Amino acid sequence: MLLADERAQVCEYARRLTADGLVVGTSGNISVRVGEHVAVTPTGVAYEDLRPADVPVVALDGSPVDGELRPTSELPMHLTIYRRAEDPDGAPVTAVVHTHSAHATAVSTLVDEVPPIHYMLASIGPTARVAEYATYGTEALAEAMLTALDGRRGCLLANHGTVTYGDGLSAAYHRAQQLEWCCQVWLLARSAGAPAVLPKYEVERVADKLRTYGQP
């Protein structure tokens, strides 16, 4: 089976989306790129029932390559990231995670960007912008998202959710979790007053430290 390991990863992380409360039902989607091929969640399939053979594989132009099921309706967002997004550090872009996480979606209705309320927002960028609203599954949404992603590894989608990317699903998923958590912290702080945010130089310092974070 073409991209067997990657399709299995898509199933694993799709189920994590539900377990971690980042989506409800069949909302949200995940993809992994290998060369000119992309394995992506299908549309309208319950994640607990998802099997590797159910995960369609498409080319970078969206044409079907393998699999019987139709890909997610948000395929334009995924393909736009793979074709046009650039990691701020020049790292490969090989995985995309799209969530409907509650706190981030709530924040997307209130502000144009999430300020550095916590240093872990540096895993996304100096801030997390909110892309202008557009109907789901459209090229207009993909273009709005791409604008918000400039110099960032993730963004909020107005009245919709989040998108994050990385070199591998582990990195992309971790950023989705961190972005949702930072939005939750911002909402809690904002409900009590005007939260203090970190200065630009500190976010830049943390971004440098994160490049070598973890085990070698």
Q: Which of 133, 182, 138, 187 is nearest to 161 (CA)?
A: 133
Tell me if 156 sits within 8 A of 187, measured CB to CB. no
Q: Which of 20, 38, 166, 42 is nearest to 99 (CA)?
A: 20
Tell me if 203 sits within 8 A of 193, measured CB to CB. no
CA distance 55 to 68: 8
CA distance 154 to 125: 8
Active site residues: 74
Q: Where are the alpha helices (DSSP H) in 3-91?
A: 4-19, 75-84
CA distance 31 to 97: 7
